[in-house]
Amino acid sequence: SSKSMGRKTIEAVKQLEALNSKNTLRVVLSIRSGSLTPDQISVRLGLDPSSTSEKGECLYKGKSGELYAVSCSWRLESTGKIDDVLLASHLNWLVNDQLSGREEAIRKLSDDDCSIELICYANQWTRLGYFEISPDMIASISQLGLRLKFQIMYENTDSEY
């Protein structure tokens, strides 16, 4: 009956909303260098990182062995800075609020053999998600000379959504 279909639709929408509420997203500026220290990168950019590691630092110790950093790592990320899961909000915070006006510093780091990446990490609980990037944001990322990478993890592959 149509009443039963209405209830099923309402239940499906509730289930979808519950799954979507588990989604997480963060955007990270990741800089790796074999010759510069994290402090030198901070000075050049005029920014404090969210996290760093030094070349040779032990990143992991476990039963299977140890993992050491082959280069220094400097990361600035939107985690804890933006409360929603909209890519536009996270990119705006990182690209416009943090990196705007630092194009020359980023270019010089790149010229000094730093590997610089802008990465979006998304954990999705449904396969119905999408990301939207405005032309203005694409232009801003391009002005910085950066590529935007996406790593999307689907956490709930058993769901029909």
pLDDT 10s digits, 105-151: 999 999 998 999 999 998 877 666 678 899 999 999 999 999 999 99
Amino acid at position 46, single letter? G
Tell whether 6 is covered by a domain: no
- pLDDT of residue 5 exceeding 90: no
Tell whether 14 is covered by a domain: no
| Confidence (pLDDT) at 128 | 64
Average pLDDT of the chain, as a whole number: 87
Tell whether 130 is covered by a domain: yes
Tell whether 36 is covered by a domain: yes
| Confidence (pLDDT) at 16 | 62
Tell whether 69 is covered by a domain: yes
pTM of the model: 0.79
Structural domains of the chain, count: 1
Sheet holding 72-77, edge to edge: 51-53, 72-77, 24-33, 115-124, 148-154
pLDDT 10s digits, 55-64: 887 878 888 8
Mean pLDDT of the region 2-11:
75
How many Cβ atoms are within 10 Å of 134's Cβ, its own excluded? Answer: 11
Tell whether 108 is covered by a domain: yes
Instruction: Write out the residue range of the structural domain in which residue 32 sits.
Output: 20-154
Can you name the residues that pair with 45 across neighbouring β-strands? none
Amino acid at position 11, single letter? E
Amino acid at position 20, single letter? N
Helix boundaries (H) for the chain: 2-20, 38-45, 87-91, 103-111, 135-143
Rounded Cα distance, 124 and 109, in Å: 33
